[in-house]
């Protein structure tokens, strides 16, 4: 059966770039039936940020891209900002580890101010390098993540976690870390989740699943909160990576055509989970829906 006209179709994590497709990719998402994007910031330069001003410029570019997509593609866009955790690894040899960590903290404070000013809806991506690094760098990443949790608590917003794929015990450890900082597990979202882990085994942490066909089908049985994402990179050197931006609406249509139950279960990632994690329900852009 077709998707209900009043159902938002949400990609929970993607990137756009002024050097890539930008609005053209967003139009492709819209043409496939997508209505809402969570747009995460990224470094738009070949150089790692070395100052808070560098991050301010980066966040402003993300905000400008979001505004352009809203105006020209007719979809809703939610901005997510934070210093990328891997920046710490790259900046440490350039600035010294202590200074690189201090920069992460300052940039996280800036991101928190954007949430307070309603320019962003969450801190992300925050967390840990997804590859092996020296112990002192891993420890510094942990300190930066704890600061991110403290900022999220103070400005009352979710955190979008970058890390290697997590086993159930690692999800539960993440939940405990958040609880100690005053952030409820449901407001911690593991982005780029590639393996389905049931909610009871995640300690309440939300999962943003990569919208592969098999994983999307498996996730339908989860009560939530969970999301679907493409982690679209908009990198001209890697067209379509990680998944093409039209993937989530295409998956949604396929799941709806498979069964009426699939249609109703899609309200979990597209509506109920947004409300549970962010505190509001996504509304269809003007001119969309019934």
pLDDT confidence band for 288 (50 / 70 / 90): low
Q: Model confidence over 199-252: pLDDT tens digits?
A: 999 999 999 999 999 999 999 989 999 999 999 999 999 988 999 999 999 999
225 upstream amide cis, omega within 30 of 0 = yes
**Which of residues 259 and 114 earns the better pLDDT score?**
114
Closest residue by Cα to residue 149 from 176, 169, 172, 130: 176
pLDDT confidence band for 290 (50 / 70 / 90): very low
In the chain the domains, ranked by start, together with CATH numbers, are 10-278 (3.20.20.140)
Q: Model confidence over 11-55: pLDDT tens digits?
A: 999 999 999 999 999 999 999 999 999 999 999 999 999 999 999
Lowest-pLDDT range of 7-16, 140-149, 176-185, 255-264: 255-264
Q: Are 39 and 78 in contact (CB under 8 A)?
A: yes
Tell how strand 10-14 and strand 226-229 pair up.
unpaired
What are the Cα distances from residue 131, in Å, to 82, 137, 175, 252, 276? 19, 11, 21, 32, 31
- What average pLDDT does range 263-288 have in this prediction? 90
Collapsing DSSP states into helix, strand and coil, what is residue 129? coil
What number of CA atoms fall less than 13 Å from residue 77's CA on the CB side?
A: 30
Burial bucket for residue 184 (CB in 10 Å: 0-12, 13-18, 19+): middle
Q: Are 81 and 124 in contact (CB under 8 A)?
A: yes
247 upstream amide cis, omega within 30 of 0 = no
- Quote the Cα angle for 137-94-232, to 5°: 70
Asked whether the whole model's pTM tops 0.85, one would answer yes
- What average pLDDT does range 100-125 have in this prediction? 98
Query: CA-to-CA distance for 184 and 169, rounded, in angstroms?
Result: 17
């Amino acid at each position: 059966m077709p998707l209900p006209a009043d159902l938002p179709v949400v990609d929970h994590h993607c990137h756009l770039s002024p050097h890539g497709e930008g609005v053209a990719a967003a139009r492709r998402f819209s043409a496939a039936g997508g209505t809402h994007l969570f747009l995460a910031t990224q470094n738009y330069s070949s150089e790692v940020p070395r100052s808070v001003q560098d991050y301010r410029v980066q966040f402003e570019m993300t905000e400008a891209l979001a505004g352009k997509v809203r105006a020209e593609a007719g979809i809703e866009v939610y901005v997510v900002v934070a210093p990328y955790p891997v920046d710490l690894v790259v900046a440490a040899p350039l600035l010294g580890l202590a200074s690189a960590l201090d920069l992460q903290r300052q940039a996280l404070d800036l991101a928190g101010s954007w949430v307070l000013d309603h320019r962003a809806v969450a801190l992300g991506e925050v967390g840990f390098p997804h590859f092996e690094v020296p112990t002192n760098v891993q420890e510094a990443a942990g300190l930066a993540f704890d600061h991110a949790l403290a900022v999220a608590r103070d400005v009352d917003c979710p955190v979008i976690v970058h890390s290697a794929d997590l086993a159930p015990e690692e999800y539960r450890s993440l939940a405990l870390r958040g609880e100690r900082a005053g952030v409820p597990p449901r407001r911690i979202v593991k982005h780029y989740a590639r393996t389905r882990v049931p909610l009871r085994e995640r300690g309440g942490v939300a999962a943003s699943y990569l919208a592969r066909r098999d994983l999307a089908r498996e996730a339908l049985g989860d009560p939530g909160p969970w999301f679907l994402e493409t982690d679209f990179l908009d990198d001209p050197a890697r067209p379509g990576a990680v998944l093409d931006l039209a993937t989530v609406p295409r998956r949604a249509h396929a799941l709806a055509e498979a069964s009426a139950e699939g249609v109703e279960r899609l309200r979990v990632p597209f509506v109920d989970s947004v409300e549970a994690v962010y505190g509001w329900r996504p509304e269809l852009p003007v001119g969309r829906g019934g």
